[in-house]
Structure 1
Amino acid sequence: MSDLANRAVALSEESFIASSGPGGQNVNKVATAVQLRLDVFALRLSPPVFHRLKALAGSRMNARGEIVLTARNYRTQEANRQDARERLARLIEQAQEEPRTRKKSRVNRVGKTKRLKGKKARSQVKANRGKVDW
């Protein structure tokens, strides 16, 4: 985990809620699901990283700038807590990765003539599909 991801996990708040997932009768008695909240503004991210994080988080980010993750895949509170923390760290690490810029490709002369020859042949095929005059 990166330094920023560790800081994010440390700044996040956890609350436990009743889960609808696996757990049998235990599900009715114990709050095993974890709801992790992180105030993104507390991380003091640079604008490009913030915008990437906002796009990646999608509907998991609310209007107050909090990312809310809910983990309820496991039967135990501890496993769900670990899952939520890992997902948050992964999300922040993905936002830190700068997307590679696309480089324009250039077609050489041979490629250009080949493409134009193919277009000409195709147009000829389509032109020959017209009505036949007897």
Structure 2
Amino acid sequence: MLKISNTVELADWEIQITQIRAQGAGGQNVNKVASAVHLRFDILHSTLPPFYKERLMALSDQRISKDGIVVIKAQSFRTLELNREDALQRLKELIQSAVKQQKARRATRPTRASQRRRVDRKTQKGKTKALRGKVQL
């Protein structure tokens, strides 16, 4: 089970994980074996709520295909278990980012008090600027 939020969980059968052991590209450590994981998740055939599905399909992310399949590749770590956890974490973050509510914007209009303060400061600056260089008796 992958817990997305307090109310939403994904079952293990919904997430397909293919484990790949690939030879390194070369260089000095030719004998190193990299362990990669490909995670595949079908948005449209999942048990996610309809709101989640709509928001995920609307995302402009390269990992999401037109037919609603998410493919996440993880190969940062040497072990398959760590790569598997990394891929699951990235899927969770992707779903959470899709359904995150935008915070309400604060009023952009300045208050009366702040407008008055600004006017007072400006006039104050103007007075001192005008008196600069004048001889005071």
TM-score, length basis structure 1? 0.63
**Structure 1 contact 38–66 (Cα < 8 Å) conserved:** yes
Instruction: Letter of the 1:25 partner, please give it.
Output: N
1:76 shift after superposition:
1.4
Query: What displacement does 1:90 show?
Result: 2.6
Q: Secondary structure at the match of 1:14?
A: strand
> Which of these two proteins has the greater Rg computed from alpha carbons?
2
Instruction: Work out whether 1:45 is the aligned partner of 2:80.
Output: no
Change (3 A) 1:119 1:14: farther
Count residues in correspondence: 117
Question: Which structure shows the bigger proportion of residues in strand conformation?
Answer: 2
Instruction: Return the match for 2:83 from 74, 80, 85.
Output: 80
Unaligned runs of 5+ in 2: 125-137
Q: Which residue of 2 aligns with 1:124?
A: none
Q: Give the counterpart of 2:71 among 68, 85, 99.
A: 68
| Residue 8 (structure 2) aligns with | 4
Does structure 1 residue 58 correspond to structure 2 residue 61? yes
- Asked if structure 1 preserves the Cα contact closer than 8 Å seen for 2:23 and 2:32, the reply is no
CA RMSD of aligned residues (A): 3.4
Q: Evaluate the alpha carbon distance shift between residue 74 and residue 24 of structure 1 in structure 2; reply closer, same or farther with a 3 A threshold.
A: farther
Q: Deviations over 1:39-93 (max 9, x none)?
A: 111234334x335434667111112211110000111112211211122123223
**Higher relative contact order structure (alpha carbons within 8 Å, sequence separation ≥ 6):** 1
TM-score by length of 2: 0.62
Query: Within 2, Cα distance between the matches of 1:10 and 1:101?
Result: 37
Structure 1: give runs of 5+ residues left out of the alignment. Answer: 122-134
Which structure 2 residues correspond to residues 1-134 of structure 1 after superposition, within 5 A?
1=3, 2=5, 4-7=8-11, 9-17=12-20, 18=22, 25-27=31-33, 32-43=35-46, 44-47=48-51, 49-54=52-57, 58-115=61-118
Partner amino acid for 2:50? S
- Name 1:131's counterpart in structure 2: none
Structure 2 CA distance for partners of 1:108 and 1:26, relative to 1, 3 Å = closer
Asked if the contact 2:41–2:70 (Cα under 8 Å) also holds between the matched residues in 1, the reply is yes
